[in-house]
Structure 1
Amino acid sequence: YAAEWAALANGTAVRELDFHDTFLAADYSHPGDNIPPILAAAQQAGKGGRELIRGLATGYEIQVDLVRGICLHEHKIDHVAHLGPSAAAGIGTLLDLDVETIYQAIGQALHTTTATRQSRKGEISSWKAFAPAFAGKMAIEAVDRAMRGEGAPSPIWEGEDGVIAWLLSGPGHEYTVPLPAEGEEKRAILDTYTKEHSAEYQSQAPIDLARSMGERLAAEGRDLADVESIVLHTSHHTHYVIGTGSNDPQKFDPKASRETLDHSIMYIFAVALEDRSWHHERSYAPERANRPETIELWHKISTVEDPEWTRRYHSSDPNEKAFGARAVITFKDGSVVEDELAVADAHPLGARPFAREQYIEKFRTLCEGVVSREEQDRFLAAVQDLENLTDLAELNIELDEDVLAKAPTVGEGLF
């Protein structure tokens, strides 16, 4: 095994489709990014399923708690800065390391994975997927160095020239990170959300809203060519990150990268409204993005921040916390059609909450044309008995040779 390189490769693959989980609070995160590095370390060390579960529980807990307590994006720091420390902590739990070693590993991981959030602004490249994978790789290397006795910059967050003083809110500022008490259950993973659709999480409810509104308009005989404008009233985060508040012209460019389009709620809403569906590949295909009627509709869509949606976004009450929007569609004849959706259909409070059946269906959808049915069944049996697994190599999925032969290749590099 080469755990660090496995973490980089698998972490990039996990992140590429923007199709795994999310946690949103003071900042953003995709806690599933912890899985590739912690799993790679577990396989390297010959650990079993129970140890892996413990490591993942810590990784999720630390990242979710950091996201609750420290806002990075207001200082234009990428949310991956919360991932390096969480992955290092998770690996420390997995390996049952002492507190001092884990502390030093966390410090090193934060120091080497903190960067600006330009990776998800303007023309977004595949580095959006590589960035969290790189953080996972750095976390593994940090743990390895700490185990060998190497220290870290300390204190890395609150030091005189630390992260808080010069990258966040400045010297003297105090953050409160709600960590569980000693012996308290690590339950943060239960506060994360899965995605039914391959797009930024703030797009999930708007996609479902667009699908239902598309059905309604079709039933009423409405023609989308007659739309004058569409305004999405939504939260601060949605407006400024994936909406027109970002001031990114690339979000309206049909030649933009897939990574840019999955951060454009204007594009996403237009396609979902027209197709009344969403697919992780077809909805982003160049031929789909370049349809003249889609471009025309897409450019009629804008977002505005609504204080009520922002309040609900940050609410601590799970029954009112929402990541949705209200869509106001104005037609050229002056008529208006509007509707809203607070949470995605797949949300626990949504119209069709995800359960085990839906997770399995999502897995099989991603395996279409790539993984044989027999191999899918073998993996599902193994992963659903994770706590009893003694050989984590059973979680490695094998592809047929003909599938690998068709895989794209990249040019040669330095090594």
Structure 2
Amino acid sequence: MNTSASVVEQLGNWASTMTWNDLSPAVRLALKGRVLDAVGCAVGALSARPITSIGQLADELGGEPLATCIGGSKTAPDRAAFVNGSAIRYLDFNDSYLAKGETCHPSDNIAPVLAAAEYARTSGREFLVALAIAYQVQCRLSDVAPVRRRGFDHTVQGAYGAAAGAARAMGLPALQIANAVAISGTSYNSLRVTRTGELSNWKGLAYPNMAMGAVHAALLAKYGISGPREVFEGNKGFMDAIAGKFDIDWAKEDLEKVTQTITKRYNAEIHSQSAIEGLLELRDNVGLKAEDIEWIRLATFDVAFDIIGGGEEGDKRSVHTKEEADHSLPYLLAVACLDGQVMPEQYLSERIVREDVQKLLRKVNVYPTKTYTDQFPQFMSCKIDVETRDGQRFQLEKRDYQGFRTRPATWRLLLNKYMSLTNHVDDALRTKIADVIFHLDEVQVTELTDLLGQIRISDGKYLRS
């Protein structure tokens, strides 16, 4: 029997030793900001048809009332992770992490870690430590083991992070954390077709589904179920079958990755943010009118082109659904020019199919350049070039946007975004939720989840199908 620690056992040892004192002040504030941002995104999506359908399914299935569904009832923690994760992810408005070969949304880990923490009745501090672990694991694996070009989804790395965070939130010891991660990592290797071609509801539900499994894996580990101890390095393991060889010394890892994540200013796929900000600046600076536009050309980096510009992941000018719209640079630039914003209202079905935006998006041409590709992910560079029907040309170059690492969103900016997404909720309640999140290290996690369970939607104006 091999007595040396496997890679997943090293990860488990590291995760079990992290404490509140290992979180720098910047990490603590960033974690609270990501929780606030994610809760706002979830509340803004509660009236969307897929989210209401998932809530109805959870109510029908029932389950021990051990974890809270945002704006709803209580259920088993793995099911709560799916319900809340779906709401957080649905708007496609939550944070992102940019690695050279992978982009992920690590705040997707909030739902499974929160469900596990509520189940364990742990403190807000322990929840934040566990969440930092989930962020670190997913982001570091995205750095060294990208899988997108191999045909797999970014939820693959998330299976390791979500399980590590959920297991730590439950207070499991090192070996059980390792087993949870091994079970989850072995089991949830989603295909990239989730985000290519004609997009479906699954684009926003693939990670919540995996997160539900990650919480279940942590529960299994808690009850003594073991997983493959060589999930990373073993025969037909993650390295051998999917990612290729890589090295991480988990004993030397810190918890700083959350400070390198970025938040969204606009309700759109992350790689579009600088382009949207640039087009809106150009629109306002020169008084650009959509009806006068002959064409819009966007020079961008290869990842943006491949995922949302019409590159390797398919045509982006056939746009009929919310999922297709928020992953289409032609649609996003067209609707931004027409409406002066990209928020949840821009994804109403009647807005997506209207003739003005469908006509204008066909005048948008997106192409990659080596210069901007080489600058990514340190910058999110692009150049917007617009010609009007009378022959005038207007250009603007961008390298970042408000919310990027070079211009990070402050707590105040995130609070303003949260308030705009929750303006259909009782004002005293939403203010109290934000205050508890800011002081989460001083309270039990149930103080937050109890408030989230009280949310009721009085105006379902967003995203009805």
Q: 1:40 to 1:233 in 2, by over 3 A?
A: same
Q: Give the corresponding residue for 2:448.
A: 394
Give, in angstroms, the shift of residue 388 of structure 1.
1.0
Q: 1:348 to 1:156 in 2, by over 3 A?
A: closer
Instruction: Return 5+ residue gaps in structure 2 as ranges.
Output: 1-65, 67-75
Q: Measure the CA separation in 2 of the matches of 1:17 and 1:407.
A: 10
Give, in angstroms, the shift of residue 69 of structure 1.
0.8
Q: Find the partner of 1:366 among 421, 446, 454.
A: 421
Given the alignment of the two structures, is residue 378 of structure 1 paired with residue 437 of structure 2, yes or no?
no
Whether the 8 Å CA contact 1:326–1:340 is kept in 2: the answer is yes
* 2:410 aligned partner, one-letter code: A
Q: 1:391 to 1:76 in 2, by over 3 A?
A: closer
Q: Give the corresponding residue for 2:296.
A: 230
Q: Give the corresponding residue for 2:318.
A: 253
Q: Find the partner of 1:211 among 269, 280, 288.
A: 280
Q: Give the corresponding residue for 2:403.
A: 346
Give, in angstroms, the shift of residue 177 of structure 1.
3.8
Q: Give the corresponding residue for 1:174.
A: 245
- Aligned to 2:311, what secondary structure does the other structure show? helix
Q: TM-score, normalization: structure 2?
A: 0.78
Given the alignment of the two structures, is residue 291 of structure 1 paired with residue 354 of structure 2, yes or no?
yes
Q: Find the partner of 1:86 among 143, 156, 161.
A: 161
Whether the 8 Å CA contact 1:231–1:302 is kept in 2: the answer is yes
Give, in angstroms, the shift of residue 257 of structure 1.
1.4
Q: Measure the CA separation in 1 of the matches of 2:395 and 2:455.
A: 48
Q: Find the partner of 1:69 among 141, 144, 149.
A: 144
Structure-to-structure mapping, 1:14-413, within 5 angstroms: 14-25=88-99, 26-168=101-243, 173-177=244-248, 179=250, 181=252, 185-218=254-287, 223-246=289-312, 248-249=314-315, 251-254=316-319, 256-280=320-344, 282-314=345-377, 321-350=378-407, 353-369=408-424, 371-395=425-449, 396-399=451-454, 403=458
Instruction: Return 5+ residue gaps in structure 1 as ranges.
Output: 315-320, 411-415
- Aligned to 1:228, what secondary structure does the other structure show? strand
Whether the 8 Å CA contact 1:244–1:302 is kept in 2: the answer is no
Q: 1:206 to 1:163 in 2, by over 3 A?
A: same
Give, in angstroms, the shift of residue 399 of structure 1.
4.7
Whether the 8 Å CA contact 2:347–2:463 is kept in 1: the answer is no
* 1:176 aligned partner, one-letter code: D
Give, in angstroms, the shift of residue 236 of structure 1.
1.0
Question: Deviations for 1:355-401, whole angstroms, at most 9, x for unmatched residues?
Answer: 111111111111122x1001112212211110111252433424566
Question: Deviations for 1:126-171, whole angstroms, at most 9, x for unmatched residues?
Answer: 2112111111111111111122222223412322222332333xxx
Whether the 8 Å CA contact 1:123–1:257 is kept in 2: the answer is no
Q: Measure the CA separation in 2 of the matches of 1:227 and 1:97.
A: 59
Give, in angstroms, the shift of residue 34 of structure 1.
0.8
Q: Measure the CA separation in 2 of the matches of 1:401 and 1:193.
A: 29
Q: Measure the CA separation in 2 of the matches of 1:253 and 1:311.
A: 29
Deviates more, 1:106-115 or 1:334-343: 334-343
Name the count of aligned residue pairs. 389
* 2:368 aligned partner, one-letter code: E
Whether the 8 Å CA contact 1:235–1:313 is kept in 2: the answer is yes
Q: Give the corresponding residue for 2:87.
A: 13
Give, in angstroms, the shift of residue 175 of structure 1.
1.5
* 2:82 aligned partner, one-letter code: L
Q: Measure the CA separation in 2 of the matches of 1:400 and 1:22.
A: 26
- Aligned to 1:337, what secondary structure does the other structure show? strand
RMSD: 2.4
Q: Which has the higher contact order (CA 8 A, sep 6+)?
A: 2
Q: 1:294 to 1:307 in 2, by over 3 A?
A: same
Q: Measure the CA separation in 1 of the matches of 2:257 and 2:111.
A: 18
Whether the 8 Å CA contact 1:213–1:273 is kept in 2: the answer is no
Whether the 8 Å CA contact 1:108–1:153 is kept in 2: the answer is yes
Q: Measure the CA separation in 2 of the matches of 1:379 and 1:402.
A: 15
Question: Deviations for 1:196-246, whole angstroms, at most 9, x for unmatched residues?
Answer: 21111111111111111111342xxx5533433222111111000000214
Q: Give the corresponding residue for 1:413.
A: none
* 1:16 aligned partner, one-letter code: Y
Q: TM-score, normalization: structure 1?
A: 0.87
Q: Measure the CA separation in 2 of the matches of 1:3 and 1:98.
A: 19
* 2:351 aligned partner, one-letter code: R
Question: Deviations for 1:31-52, whole angstroms, at most 9, x for unmatched residues?
Answer: 1011110110110111111110
* 2:412 aligned partner, one-letter code: E
Q: Measure the CA separation in 1 of the matches of 2:336 and 2:464.
A: 32
Give, in angstroms, the shift of residue 77 of structure 1.
0.3
Q: 1:159 to 1:210 in 2, by over 3 A?
A: same
Question: Deviations for 1:270-297, whole angstroms, at most 9, x for unmatched residues?
Answer: 11122222222x1112222233232222
Whether the 8 Å CA contact 2:268–2:342 is kept in 1: the answer is no
Whether the 8 Å CA contact 1:68–1:177 is kept in 2: the answer is no
Question: Deviations for 1:26-71, whole angstroms, at most 9, x for unmatched residues?
Answer: 3111010111101101101111111101101101111111111111
Q: 1:404 to 1:342 in 2, by over 3 A?
A: closer
Q: 1:86 to 1:161 in 2, by over 3 A?
A: same
